Amino acid sequence: VLLLAYFALQVIYARRKYKISPPETAGHPEFERIFRAQANCSEYFPIFVSLLWVAGIFFHQGAAAACGLLYLYARFKYFQGYTVAAQGRLGPMYASARVLWLLMGLAVAGLLAHFLLP
């Protein structure tokens, strides 16, 4: 939640810097990159939290927590890269997607073990 708050504050600061009042979402290219980075991170947050929760309950809390920290770090690097240049988001975006797939695998493995094994 703190990371999302940080991203939202960056959008607020960019709105002030480039004099773009809400609900406007277009304007200076740097503002648009910051706005899109924040929106993209917010869109993926429910998926991340859901997978983290299921993996933590049904697989292992430590493994889920480690994946959660990796994901948050990758998203932070994604935001930083995207604010500089659109191409700067690609490496961290792929890294965060891999972590989401890993969390998905852990969640599925935990659910299968819980419901299918005696």
Q: List, by residue number, the catalytic residues.
A: 16, 89
Query: How far is the CA of 65 from the CAs of 35, 84, 86, 103, 117, in angstroms?
Result: 28, 29, 29, 10, 24
Q: Report the alpha-carbon distance of residue 107 to residue 116 in Å, rounded.
A: 14
CA–CA gap between residue 111 and residue 105 (Å, rounded): 10
Instruction: Report yes or no: 63 and 51 within 8 Å, Cβ to Cβ.
Output: no
